[in-house]
Chains A and B, each alone.
Chain A
């Protein structure tokens, strides 16, 4: 089984461990063995070292990358910010002067960045290494008839020059759409598809501006797709959709019920028959009814051995 370093970041292992559990369930079943990167830290987040000093950012990112290098594996991350930060740091390390300086900093902790491990997103591993055909073969329940609005999120898309895997057109991303379609669901287009959800630095700096931007996107989803589910491969987008829809509803700023939101591998794990108490257990929005619908007997495709 192909091994890949599972880089967890912060939000997934600490706030949304059901997403982590969904990785640990679906990947081995799809032929990929995630291995832990012991002692890995924050990527570090945009609001920390990258906001103070470029070389410190690169040193902390590269420390994480060296953990994978020592195990001879590439890195897979489920958080878009981590994916962006690690990929950008690795890109900066292509400057010879930068590499020399940062490796000088890493020497203090007996580490050296070599550049041997590539950075992949969970979505990329599913799309490029596993493939939609294999995903289809492993389904226990078909999502036929359900409508999904998808949210790729910013840091898997731009800037294309730093990423190992890119979309054909980052303004019209299709990787996650194809992954969602593999479950049998319908995945309609909506006009604000590439729009930012407003999480991240924007939310911590000015929550009202963030909510305004988020509402624009959400209303586009509701009016143009009337989706049953929102699916994302960004843990920050997940938190924003799950946390902020109820806020908008409570304030009377939307006139519809919050749309249940899943990280893609949670949805996939459910469709593969895994226990929702492990893979989709933590959310503000009540996902019970839609989980019941997904894992209902009428949707059974076959028993997976």
Chain B
């Protein structure tokens, strides 16, 4: 492949802009990938390999790859990295780049809608289950609190998430 400095600069600036500040510290030692459960499970573009692609200037070329969404954010990588790269922060910066280009699975839209409407990313009507175990049917959380829901919606509406046309 042809490597272009402009593309490298663009990829690095994008990742840094989305929170992956340590990307240029990476020396491709692979400690992160050695300990990553996502790599172990078979996701191709996480940790060292994702960083390699980014440092080669690839962004749009890999935008459709779903590996970053398989990241558990467990931060084993960030813990072991001897260079302060913060590989998890880079995986998430790449994920933010994807998300802001709407390159994510439709199943993920449900959690965004749930968060917006109830304040809970995972929402199921809890009343029966709660009654069964002797708890009040309503949770003391945002799900049953109008003011709380309004606050969450305000924070989301005022954020870049509000501009994606999801809500």
Contact = CB atoms under 8 A, between A and B. Distances in A.
Contact of B120 (A10, A36, A84): A10
Given A13-B130, A56-B160, 15 more contacts: A14-B129, A17-B129, A18-B133, A39-B140, A41-B148, A44-B121, A52-B100, A52-B164, A105-B158, A201-B69, A202-B70, A204-B108, A205-B66, A206-B70, A213-B37
A94 to B, nearest CB: 14
B79 interface: yes
Interface in B110-136: 111-112, 115, 119-124, 126, 129-130, 132-135
Interface residues of B, number: 63
Interface stretch (A68-76, A153-161, A286-294): A153-161
A117 interface: no
A21 interface: yes
A40 B96 contact: no
Interface stretch (A134-142, A224-232, A277-285): A277-285
A45 B140 contact: no
Contact of A10 (B112, B122, B148): B122
B28 interface: no
Interface string A158-191: 1110000000001000000000000000000000
Contacts of A59: 155, 159
B26 interface: no
User: Could you say which interface size class chain A belongs to?
Assistant: 35 or more
Interface string B56-100: 000000000010011111111011000000001000100110011
A170 B42 CA distance: 24
A49 B133 contact: no
Interface of B: 18-19, 37-38, 40-43, 66, 69-76, 78-79, 88, 92, 95-96, 99-100, 104-105, 107-108, 111-112, 115, 119-124, 126, 129-130, 132-135, 139-143, 145, 147-148, 151-152, 154-156, 158-161, 164
Contact of B42 (A13, A49, A212): A212
Interface string A203-240: 01110011011000000000000000000000000000
Considering residues A37, A170, A205, which has the most beta carbons from chain B within 10 angstroms of its beta carbon? Answer: A205
A56 B126 contact: no
Contacts of A196: 37, 72, 74
Contacts of A44: 115, 121
A45 B122 CA distance: 9
Given A56-B159, A282-B133, A154 B72 contact: yes
A45 B118 CA distance: 13
Contact of A202 (B72, B111, B141): B72
